[in-house]
Structure 1
Amino acid sequence: MRAELQQLLESRVKQCVSQQRSKGDCDKIERKKASLAKRDAEIVKAKAKGQITDITEINDFKNVSYAVHFRYLIRQNDLLYIEEEVESHQATFSREHLIDEFEVVPSINSAKFDDRSLLYSDDFSMNELGQRAYTYDRLKAVQYAERWWNSYNPAYMKIENNDCTNFISQCLQQGGAPMRGYPNRGAGWWLRSQSHSWSWAVAHALKLYFESSKSGLRAKRVSSPEQLLLGDVICYDFEGDGRFNHNTIVTGKDANGMPLVNAHTYNSRQRYWAYEDSSAYTPNIKYLFFSIVDS
């Protein structure tokens, strides 16, 4: 069982650097290579480390859940950088022979809430925390994103399987962004113990907050990704239906000055901002780019 999984990972690592296509190649890896090629970039070395997280047995079948940590050394012109991502997979064995294997795609369905309940104007959600001036420390926000991209800070709550916006909010707070709006979940941007505003942990709510906030944590929308600075935020609407369901934080730039991002849910670091290699990507994807401003 373990030998077959190891062989599978080795074949995918080989595919990352191969110029040839073979039967059974992973489509996701081919999308990554195509995305890199459009940027005059390529994977020059790859590593994959798997860890079994659960095994269940039903009669002659074994279902094996495991995580795979991929590391890619990417060359783009004179720049070399390392991209990392973690995927969840499931394999099914019958009498110790592999019969099925697939990536378990994380849920991107945000918590349900009524947009009309969000009161982000200053008249409703201003408090003493939102009034103080602050300078956003982009370096601290990025350092936090680098430290915790693939783990969970026990000082904060963890949202199982859909932690992306909670993670971004932590990064923003670590950069000095002030909270405001407590205890109204539909007001401001805040965390208090295990309670939080919708905007702290729900992707679409954070996008709405950025568009309307005039005090405390504020952001301005820019028209293109190259205008973003380290510590800025990208919002993703994978289906293009107007409901945003993922957020990332800018932690680097590639050789063309385009953002590289870190995220949770799809745990990744220094990933190219467009997410064209993501299992959630669709041709209808829409992006919004927000640059954090000092008050």
Structure 2
Amino acid sequence: MQTQTVNAIKRHKLYYLLILPGVLYFLVFHYVPMYGITIAFKDIAPFEGLKGIFTAEWVGLQHFKNFASSYYFWDIIGNTLTISVYRLVFGFPAPIILALLINEARHVMFKRTVQTISYLPHFISMVVLAGLTTTLLSTDGGFINGLLQKLGFEPVAFLTDTNTFRPVLVISAIWKEVGWSSIIYLAAIAGVDPQLYEAAKVDGASRLRQIWHITIPGISHIIVILFILQIGHIMDAGFEQVFLLYSPPVYDVADIIDTYVYRKGLVEVQYSFAAAVGLFKSVIAVILVVGANYLAKKIDQEGIW
């Protein structure tokens, strides 16, 4: 058996050499750093460097207990879940709807133009997006507030008002990714059997009924898989976007787990505590993915494993 394995490796050595860089990448940058998770259970002093990971005192679950009993715990959990649920409820169906609309367009040039325009925002960095958002919504010469004033309304401080900050986050995030996210749905729609549509036309089904009874069921397995993966990000409310747009007036509704970890880890130099909070977030994400996958299989849908 060992001889056969060795011979197989020798016979396909070129292929193994080709995948070697990828394997090394994952080992060095993904698996080896996992040992750093142990700092969540230790008390590392600031600026001890790599040595502290190995020599620091074990404190067990103390950092997790401190986090759970902290003043900010429920606020940041609530903010994270609220923003993430908004993104899930409004952001997840958006690319599906866009893909269905693009698929129904019959003019090829129009379809390509819409696709190109909707894809482009994905390639804009979050820093640029934050700058555009701030400029457009500024109370001092911003386009949106200028339009509101011309219509007779008072200017609105969108980015410093606790009632409007979350909607701004969600809408700008959807605008950035809706086109790019629709690509996989368009590919799935292209795989639906055209004969089903021909049969539906013979039966007198309208375009709307064809979408409802053929297209959507035909891509349902893709929708379920992507939904499960999205559930895994429900504890990830978009650190970069929040960090670039929020300010003290909206901390009450915008302070999320990731911004809290940033403050504790990089500003206050509490590395172990920040690692514990980050690990807590990751464990919850894994539990949510496993739970969503289990429920998907229970309702006779494909899971991710």
Task: Decide which structure has the larger Cα Rg and report it.
Answer: 2
TM-score, normalized by length of structure 1? 0.26
**Which of the two has greater helix per residue?**
2
**Which of the two has greater strand per residue?**
1
Relative contact order (C-alpha < 8 Å, sep 6+): which is higher?
2
TM-score, normalized by length of structure 2? 0.26
